[in-house]
Amino acid sequence: MGFPLFDLSGLRALVTGSSQGIGYALAEGLAAHGAAVIINGRSAEKVESAVETLRQGGHTAHAAVFDVTDKASVATGVGAIEADIGPIDILVNNAGMQFRTPLEDFPADKWELLLSTNISSVFYVGQAVARHMIARGHGKIINIASVQSEMARPGIAPYTATKGAVRNLTRGMCADWAKHGLQINAIAPGYFKTPLNQALVDSAEFSGWLEKRTPAGRWGNVEELVGSAVFLAGKASSFVNGHTLYVDGGITTCL
């Protein structure tokens, strides 16, 4: 590897919600830079398929099927990884979901689901992994926030609330854990072509609005998030802590 600051060889990276979309792209990117990646999700079939695809590409990949919204499941899952695969050096808290409807009509059950998926999972997995990292005196945690950590749009207020919480939980993790040798940062993607956003991608009206609003004039491609993840996962970011890195084509410059 010609760039040691971005060399992840010998490190293990757990990426939650990584059987598809942004999570898979980040896992594949970390693997391409030398990390052994651990694919997580609730569907064993999807997780195993993603692992097999990565292995066929020459990467080292493992499966970890557990529910990141369930504290007991997280404790068991993280413990099994540490015991059977090895120490988790890098954690990417990527699992998340979206639900769109006017706030006055937003169902209470969807509110609770967004809270558990988008923010409780970051706390549960982050805490479980950090306990091991603290004991070792080093570790990297990357939380996936959003441009909605900084801005808002109609119909997604609860999602905006959860992503704002991810940004501030990242700061809180830094405040508590930096003294133990951990670096905790967040990546805030803008609008990317993913299964989560497919309805918006297919909408000529929304895509037209986005292209006009974003200085780069287009949707992002998930592969464009990899460089940020590799930077935050490696030695290059050894003194970067509590930071949220916006990868958004410039849309947050136009608030």
Does some domain include residue 254?
no
Question: Residue 155's CB: how many other CB atoms inside 10 A?
Answer: 15
Kindly state whether residue 107 falls inside one of the protein's structural domains: yes
Residue 117 domain-assigned (yes or no): yes
Asked whether residue 255 is domain-assigned, the answer is no
Pick the closest to residue 194 from 20, 21, 28, 15 (CA basis): 21
User: Which domain covers residue 70, as residue numbers?
Assistant: 4-246
State residue 104's pLDDT score. Answer: 96
DSSP run (H or E) holding 36: strand 36-41
pLDDT band at residue 196, thresholds of 50, 70 and 90? confident
C-alpha span between 100 and 79 (Å, rounded):
35
Catalytic residue IDs: 159
Can you give the CATH number for the domain in which 94 is found?
Answer: 3.40.50.720
Report whether pLDDT(118) > 60: yes
pLDDT score of 254: 82
The answer to whether residue 106 is domain-embedded is: yes
Query: Which amino acid, residue 185?
Result: N
Q: Is the pLDDT of residue 3 over 80?
A: no
Q: Is residue 185 part of a domain?
A: yes
Mean of the per-residue pLDDT values of the chain: 95
Segment 153-177 mean pLDDT: 96
Burial class, 42, CB count within 10 angstroms (exposed 0-12 / middle 13-18 / buried 19+): middle
Distance of alpha carbon 139 from alpha carbon 131, whole angstroms: 10
In this predicted model, what pLDDT tens digit does every residue of 10-42 receive, in sequence order?
999 999 999 999 999 999 999 999 999 999 999
Name the domain count of the chain.
1
User: Which helix (DSSP H) or strand (DSSP E) does residue 130 occupy?
Assistant: helix 121-136
The answer to whether residue 212 is domain-embedded is: yes
Give the HSE-up count for residue 121: Cα atoms under 13 Å, Cβ half-sphere. Answer: 30
Q: Per-residue pLDDT averaged across 100-121, rounded?
A: 96
In a domain, 90, yes or no: yes
